[in-house]
Structures are given as C-alpha cells and as structure tokens.
A = this chain, B = another copy of it.
Amino acid sequence: MSDQPHILVVDDHRDIRDLLGRYLRQHEYRVSLASDGRELRKLMADDIAPDLIVLDLMMPGEDGLSLCRWLRENHDVPVVMLTALGEETDRIIGLEMGADDYLAKPFNPRELLARVKAVMRRAQSLPVGRKGPLPGGQVHFDRWILDRTRHELRDANDVMVPLSAGEYGLLCAFVEHPNMVLNRDQLLDLTRGREAIPFDRSIDNQVSRLRKKIEHDAKNPTLIKTVWGGGYMFTCEVAEK
C-alpha cells in the first residue's frame, strides 16, 4: 500500500469532482470521489479511512453542513469545506460545525492544495486528529482552565480571572480553533456571529485586552500570536477534560 495521503472529495458537480481528483492526484495524493452524502457514508462504512475530506457545502439532498457534523461525531478526520461565493455565513458555520478550514468558490486549485497541506500538517502535529475541543465543557491550556459551562477562567491555583463577555467569546473562539491562523473577519464572525459588522480593528482591541489577562508577558505574547498581514493564531496545546 502506498504512503500517499488519501483524500476523499465529495461534490455533486461532476466536473469539479473529476478535475479536483485529477489535480490532487497530480500532486501525489490518493483520491477517492463521492457525489453525495449517501456515497460518503457508504465509503466511510467501508472503512476507507481517508486522511482528509474535501466537502462541498451546497449539495442536493443532505448538505455539507450536516454531513460535516456527522463526520465530526462518528469519525476522526479533518474536513475542508467548499462554500459558495458570498455565503459569508456558511463559511463560518462550517468552521463552527467543525470543519478544519474552508475555501470560498471560486478558488484556485493551487490554493485548495495549500489548505489541504496546512490542515494535514495541523492534524499531524496534534495528538488526536481533531483540531480543537468541541464547544462545551472544561478545557485546559497553558496554565489555565477555561470552564465553558460557567463561563469562567481560572489559573492553576483555581484563582478566577474575570473576563468580560467579549473577552470570553474571543478566548472560546481561539480555544476551539487552536494552531491555525484566524483573520479578523473570521474572529468577528466567530465571536459576534452574524451581527453588525463593526470596524475591523475592534478585534485588535479585544485581543489586546485578552492578552493582558492571559499572557504572562503581554508585550511578548506566547499564546496569542500575531500573524502579520494574516490575523491572529492561538498557539497552544489545548486539552479537553
């Protein structure tokens, strides 16, 4: 058996499926194709165990969102979502549903390849395949404990650090998407959902405020890293407990 990573592409559009398949194979991947949710489930039941799934959001019948959720619950495999143009909401829902990354159509195959590689790298670097803990429950990171039931942050000595609602939401977004770069739009969507679009840089302020509370040295952040021109990244091992 080959050691090429195995990718499963799920899209109802035949052209896209075939072209993606060809493109990924050209780049040293083993590729399987499925045209809808039924085929996806069948393949997963056959235990083909792909290393990554590329999933179209908009499909007749069962849509990508519920499929993604199903995958999350029943399989340990990273997912990259394809979302239609202009569907700002969907891409973020995709993230919330547990996709590891998304890509808006139209996209360059080259870019998809880059994301696939990046997601694989993350999946590989973490003990479990999963990128971050599911929402809910207690979470440990660095020397902190975040209790998502009580919305509280405590340090190793159980001393509580008060967080404002905004700070808490931002921290949750980070905790649920660790070790991946989140740009300001994504962070806004994750924290404020679909509400009014505030000034892009309001998030900077929140980051700044949050850093002051959780970073050992806010001037040299180790938890929330700035990615110049890209956004922010929560670089930390996150453990569900």
Interface residues of A (CB under 8 A from B): 13, 15-16, 19-20, 23, 84-85, 89-90, 92-98, 100-102, 105-111, 114, 117, 121-122, 124-125, 134-137, 148-152, 162, 164-166, 179, 193-194, 220, 222, 225-230, 233, 235
For A193, give its contact among B94, B106, B114, B124 (CB under 8 Å): B114
**A165 touching B228, Cβ below 8 Å:** yes
Copies of this chain, tallied across the complex? 2
The interface residues of chain B lying within 8 Å CB-to-CB of A194 are 108, 110-111, 114
Shortest C-beta distance, A119 to chain B (Å), equals 9
Shortest C-beta distance, A145 to chain B (Å), equals 15
The interface residues of chain B lying within 8 Å CB-to-CB of A135 are 117, 121
Shortest C-beta distance, A106 to chain B (Å), equals 4
Shortest C-beta distance, A128 to chain B (Å), equals 9
Shortest C-beta distance, A59 to chain B (Å), equals 13
Complex Cα–Cα for A137 and B126 (A): 9
CB-nearest residue of chain B relative to A138?
Answer: B125
Shortest C-beta distance, A129 to chain B (Å), equals 11
Complex Cα–Cα for A175 and B114 (A): 18
Shortest C-beta distance, A14 to chain B (Å), equals 10
